[in-house]
Protein backbone atom coordinates (compact mmCIF):
# COMPACT_ATOMS: atom_id res chain seq x y z
CA UNK A 1 0.00 0.00 0.00
CA UNK A 2 1.30 3.48 -0.89
CA UNK A 3 1.97 5.57 2.22
CA UNK A 4 1.56 9.35 2.25
CA UNK A 5 4.79 11.40 2.34
CA UNK A 6 5.60 13.16 5.64
CA UNK A 7 7.70 16.27 6.33
CA UNK A 8 10.23 14.17 8.30
CA UNK A 9 10.41 11.61 5.50
CA UNK A 10 10.90 14.34 2.91
CA UNK A 11 13.79 15.76 4.94
CA UNK A 12 15.43 12.34 5.19
CA UNK A 13 14.92 11.78 1.42
CA UNK A 14 16.74 15.06 0.68
CA UNK A 15 19.56 14.12 3.06
CA UNK A 16 19.85 10.67 1.47
CA UNK A 17 19.95 12.15 -2.06
CA UNK A 18 22.83 14.47 -1.06
CA UNK A 19 24.80 11.78 0.78
CA UNK A 20 24.40 8.94 -1.72
CA UNK A 21 23.99 10.67 -5.10
CA UNK A 22 20.99 8.40 -5.70
CA UNK A 23 18.48 10.36 -7.78
CA UNK A 24 15.93 7.62 -8.66
CA UNK A 25 12.58 9.31 -7.91
CA UNK A 26 10.93 6.02 -6.84
CA UNK A 27 13.63 5.38 -4.23
CA UNK A 28 13.55 8.95 -2.89
CA UNK A 29 9.73 8.90 -2.81
CA UNK A 30 9.86 5.72 -0.72
CA UNK A 31 12.14 7.46 1.83
CA UNK A 32 9.67 10.36 1.97
CA UNK A 33 6.72 7.97 2.45
CA UNK A 34 8.02 5.59 5.13
CA UNK A 35 8.29 7.09 8.66
CA UNK A 36 11.69 5.74 9.84
CA UNK A 37 10.94 6.72 13.47
CA UNK A 38 8.24 4.03 13.67
CA UNK A 39 10.96 1.36 13.22
CA UNK A 40 13.22 2.70 15.98
CA UNK A 41 13.09 2.04 19.74
CA UNK A 42 11.17 4.87 21.52
CA UNK A 43 14.34 6.45 22.97
CA UNK A 44 15.89 6.84 19.48
CA UNK A 45 12.87 8.06 17.55
CA UNK A 46 14.06 11.68 17.74
CA UNK A 47 17.10 10.61 15.65
CA UNK A 48 15.03 9.13 12.79
CA UNK A 49 16.08 11.83 10.29
CA UNK A 50 19.82 11.27 10.88
CA UNK A 51 21.73 9.49 8.11
CA UNK A 52 23.11 7.03 10.66
CA UNK A 53 22.78 3.33 11.44
CA UNK A 54 21.10 3.04 14.86
CA UNK A 55 20.66 0.16 17.34
CA UNK A 56 17.35 -1.76 17.26
CA UNK A 57 18.17 -4.24 20.09
CA UNK A 58 19.63 -7.77 20.19
CA UNK A 59 22.95 -6.34 18.99
CA UNK A 60 21.47 -5.44 15.58
CA UNK A 61 21.12 -2.12 13.74
CA UNK A 62 18.73 -0.36 11.38
CA UNK A 63 20.93 0.37 8.34
CA UNK A 64 22.20 3.83 7.40
CA UNK A 65 19.65 5.44 5.03
CA UNK A 66 22.19 6.54 2.38
CA UNK A 67 23.62 2.98 2.33
CA UNK A 68 20.09 1.59 1.92
CA UNK A 69 19.63 4.01 -1.01
CA UNK A 70 22.80 2.65 -2.66
CA UNK A 71 21.55 -0.91 -2.13
CA UNK A 72 18.12 -0.12 -3.56
CA UNK A 73 19.75 1.63 -6.51
CA UNK A 74 21.97 -1.41 -7.20
CA UNK A 75 18.92 -3.68 -6.82
CA UNK A 76 16.99 -1.78 -9.54
CA UNK A 77 13.50 -2.91 -8.49
CA UNK A 78 10.56 -2.56 -10.85
CA UNK A 79 6.89 -2.39 -9.79
CA UNK A 80 6.27 -5.96 -11.11
CA UNK A 81 9.06 -7.56 -9.02
CA UNK A 82 8.91 -10.16 -6.25
CA UNK A 83 11.58 -9.22 -3.72
CA UNK A 84 13.19 -10.95 -0.72
CA UNK A 85 15.14 -9.17 2.02
CA UNK A 86 17.38 -11.46 4.07
CA UNK A 87 17.95 -10.01 7.55
CA UNK A 88 14.97 -7.66 7.65
CA UNK A 89 15.59 -6.53 11.28
CA UNK A 90 13.26 -3.64 12.08
CA UNK A 91 11.30 -4.02 8.83
CA UNK A 92 12.25 -0.51 7.62
CA UNK A 93 13.74 -1.67 4.30
CA UNK A 94 10.74 -3.97 3.75
CA UNK A 95 8.48 -0.91 4.08
CA UNK A 96 10.64 0.99 1.55
CA UNK A 97 10.53 -2.00 -0.82
CA UNK A 98 6.73 -2.21 -0.43
CA UNK A 99 6.51 1.28 -1.98
CA UNK A 100 8.56 0.17 -5.00
CA UNK A 101 7.88 -3.53 -5.75
CA UNK A 102 4.83 -5.78 -6.19
CA UNK A 103 5.53 -8.55 -3.67
CA UNK A 104 7.85 -8.22 -0.67
CA UNK A 105 9.10 -10.97 1.65
CA UNK A 106 11.42 -10.63 4.63
CA UNK A 107 13.24 -13.22 6.70
CA UNK A 108 14.82 -12.52 10.10
CA UNK A 109 16.58 -14.96 12.43
CA UNK A 110 15.62 -13.14 15.66
CA UNK A 111 12.00 -14.03 16.44
CA UNK A 112 11.62 -10.90 18.59
CA UNK A 113 12.71 -8.58 15.75
CA UNK A 114 10.51 -10.43 13.21
CA UNK A 115 7.53 -10.03 15.53
CA UNK A 116 8.26 -6.34 16.10
CA UNK A 117 8.72 -5.75 12.34
CA UNK A 118 5.33 -7.40 11.63
CA UNK A 119 3.71 -5.27 14.32
CA UNK A 120 5.25 -1.98 13.06
CA UNK A 121 4.31 -2.71 9.44
CA UNK A 122 0.73 -3.58 10.34
CA UNK A 123 0.36 -0.41 12.50
CA UNK A 124 1.48 1.64 9.49
CA UNK A 125 -1.04 -0.15 7.29
CA UNK A 126 1.63 -1.97 5.26
CA UNK A 127 -0.25 -5.28 5.12
CA UNK A 128 1.11 -6.66 1.85
CA UNK A 129 4.55 -7.68 3.20
CA UNK A 130 5.32 -11.17 4.55
CA UNK A 131 7.82 -11.38 7.44
CA UNK A 132 9.06 -14.82 8.41
CA UNK A 133 11.33 -15.87 11.26
CA UNK A 134 14.17 -18.18 10.23
CA UNK A 135 17.56 -18.64 8.62
CA UNK A 136 17.58 -16.44 5.53
CA UNK A 137 20.68 -18.15 4.11
CA UNK A 138 18.22 -20.89 3.07
CA UNK A 139 16.49 -18.36 0.79
CA UNK A 140 12.85 -18.64 2.01
CA UNK A 141 12.21 -21.42 -0.57
CA UNK A 142 8.40 -21.42 -0.12
CA UNK A 143 8.11 -18.21 -2.15
CA UNK A 144 11.10 -18.58 -4.56
CA UNK A 145 12.15 -17.68 -7.18
CA UNK A 146 12.69 -13.98 -6.55
CA UNK A 147 13.36 -11.25 -9.11
CA UNK A 148 15.40 -9.39 -6.54
CA UNK A 149 17.18 -10.45 -3.32
CA UNK A 150 18.64 -7.91 -0.92
CA UNK A 151 20.89 -9.28 1.82
CA UNK A 152 21.15 -6.77 4.68
CA UNK A 153 23.98 -8.57 6.53
CA UNK A 154 27.56 -9.29 5.47
CA UNK A 155 29.43 -12.57 4.85
CA UNK A 156 32.65 -13.72 3.14
CA UNK A 157 30.65 -15.18 0.21
CA UNK A 158 27.15 -15.18 -1.25
CA UNK A 159 25.34 -18.38 -0.11
CA UNK A 160 24.66 -20.72 -3.09
CA UNK A 161 21.09 -21.27 -1.87
CA UNK A 162 20.38 -17.56 -2.36
CA UNK A 163 21.79 -17.58 -5.88
CA UNK A 164 19.64 -20.65 -6.61
CA UNK A 165 16.55 -18.73 -5.43
CA UNK A 166 17.09 -16.03 -8.10
CA UNK A 167 14.72 -15.97 -11.06
CA UNK A 168 16.04 -15.75 -14.63
CA UNK A 169 17.15 -12.15 -15.14
CA UNK A 170 17.17 -11.82 -11.33
CA UNK A 171 19.55 -9.74 -9.29
CA UNK A 172 21.02 -10.05 -5.78
CA UNK A 173 22.76 -7.33 -3.77
CA UNK A 174 24.84 -8.23 -0.71
CA UNK A 175 27.74 -6.91 1.41
CA UNK A 176 30.60 -9.38 0.85
CA UNK A 177 33.87 -9.42 2.80
CA UNK A 178 35.35 -9.74 6.29
CA UNK A 179 33.30 -8.94 9.44
CA UNK A 180 34.71 -5.40 9.65
CA UNK A 181 34.87 -4.38 5.95
CA UNK A 182 32.72 -5.43 3.03
CA UNK A 183 32.02 -4.42 -0.56
CA UNK A 184 28.50 -4.13 -1.87
CA UNK A 185 28.35 -6.84 -4.56
CA UNK A 186 25.65 -7.03 -7.24
CA UNK A 187 25.10 -10.41 -8.89
CA UNK A 188 22.89 -10.83 -11.92
CA UNK A 189 21.61 -14.12 -13.40
CA UNK A 190 21.21 -13.84 -17.17
CA UNK A 191 18.68 -15.79 -19.25
CA UNK A 192 21.22 -18.60 -19.79
CA UNK A 193 21.73 -18.96 -16.03
CA UNK A 194 25.22 -17.39 -16.06
CA UNK A 195 26.03 -15.18 -13.07
CA UNK A 196 27.61 -11.75 -13.56
CA UNK A 197 29.21 -9.94 -10.60
CA UNK A 198 29.87 -6.24 -10.05
CA UNK A 199 31.59 -4.57 -7.08
CA UNK A 200 30.18 -1.38 -5.55
CA UNK A 201 30.67 0.80 -2.46
CA UNK A 202 32.57 -0.14 0.70
CA UNK A 203 30.33 -0.84 3.67
CA UNK A 204 30.14 -2.39 7.14
CA UNK A 205 27.14 -4.56 8.02
CA UNK A 206 26.35 -6.87 10.94
CA UNK A 207 27.26 -10.50 10.13
CA UNK A 208 24.98 -12.85 8.21
CA UNK A 209 24.77 -15.75 10.65
CA UNK A 210 24.57 -19.18 9.10
CA UNK A 211 22.34 -21.05 11.57
CA UNK A 212 22.18 -24.16 9.42
CA UNK A 213 25.91 -24.93 9.56
CA UNK A 214 26.94 -26.36 12.94
CA UNK A 215 30.02 -24.63 14.44
CA UNK A 216 33.31 -26.55 13.93
CA UNK A 217 34.00 -29.05 16.71
CA UNK A 218 36.87 -28.32 19.07
CA UNK A 219 39.82 -30.71 18.53
Binding site for ligand SAH (CB under 6 A): 56, 60-63, 86-90, 92-93, 107-110, 113, 135-137, 152-153, 206, 208-209, 211
**CB of residue 96 vs ligand SAH: minimum separation in angstroms?**
9
**CB of residue 16 vs ligand SAH: minimum separation in angstroms?**
13
Interior angle at CA 195, CA 194 and CA 196, nearest 5: 120
- The catalytic residues are 63
Cβ closest to ligand SAH, residue 60 vs residue 186: 60
Contacts of residue 11, defined as CB under 8 A and 6 or more positions apart, other chains included, come to 49
Which residues in 50-128 belong to E strands, given as ranges?
Answer: 54-57, 60-62, 82-86, 103-108
Cβ closest to ligand SAH, residue 140 vs residue 191: 140
Q: 11 to each of 68, 163, 176, how far by Cα in Å?
A: 16, 36, 31
> 63: helix, coil or strand?
coil
Measured between alpha carbons, how far is 161 from 211 in angstroms, rounded to an integer?
14
Cβ closest to ligand SAH, residue 15 vs residue 194: 15
Q: Quick one: which of 193, 196, 158, 194 has its CA closest to 175?
A: 158
**CB of residue 78 vs ligand SAH: minimum separation in angstroms?**
20
**CB of residue 122 vs ligand SAH: minimum separation in angstroms?**
16
Measured between alpha carbons, how far is 56 from 47 in angstroms, rounded to an integer?
12
Cβ closest to ligand SAH, residue 28 vs residue 95: 95
Amino acid sequence: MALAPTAAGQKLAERVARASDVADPRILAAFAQVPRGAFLPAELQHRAEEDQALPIGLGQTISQPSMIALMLSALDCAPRHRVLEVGCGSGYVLALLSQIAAEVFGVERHAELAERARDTLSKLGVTDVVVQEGDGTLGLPGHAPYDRILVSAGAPAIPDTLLAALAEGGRLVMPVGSPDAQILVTCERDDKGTLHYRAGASCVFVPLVNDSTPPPREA
